Every structure is written in structure tokens, then in C-alpha cells.
Amino acid sequence: MKITMMICQDTPEVIWNAFRLGNMMLEGMESVSIFLNGPSVRFETADSEQFPLKELAKVFTLSEGELFA
């Protein structure tokens, strides 16, 4: 199954949950794409200890998830 998620917010928790869900679906051998739109493109600036967005994005792309911006 192919899944595409679109993120249009810059709220760190929303982006964090999208990456977490994407990584979980990739573990189940799904084909997952995440499209960052608008303010979510700058997700790296919202990286923090509480919401490690850079690390989740790295895991996502290394697990063959597709990330578009």
C-alpha cells in the first residue's frame, strides 16, 4: 500500500507525530511519502530535545521513506 502524508504546519509536535507514524508504517513494509508544505519545510529549525525532528527525518529517509518539500 502507498501512503502519502502532507504536513502544512510548523508545530513541532505535529511534524514529530507525522514522522513517527511514517517510520512506524515503514517498519510494516508500507511505501510512505511525506510532503512538507508551507511553514513545515523549515522543520529543522524546530528540532529540540523534546521533538528530535532531524533524527526522525534521518531515520525516515534511511528507511526508504520519500521526503518531498
Mean pLDDT per segment of 10 residues, for the chain of length 69 residues? 94 96 92 96 95 97 95
Q: Report pLDDT for 28.
A: 87
Q: Which residue has the cell 528507511?
A: 63
pLDDT of residue 29: 82
pTM: 0.91
* 50's grid cell: 523534546
pLDDT at 61: 96
**Cβ atoms within 10 Å, residue 7:** 22
Domain region containing 17 = 2-68
Looking at the 3D structure of the chain, how many domains does it have?
Answer: 1
**How many other β-carbons are positioned within 10 Å of the β-carbon of residue 12?**
17
Per-residue pLDDT, 20: 97
Dig out the grid coordinates for 33 from the structure.
Answer: 511519502
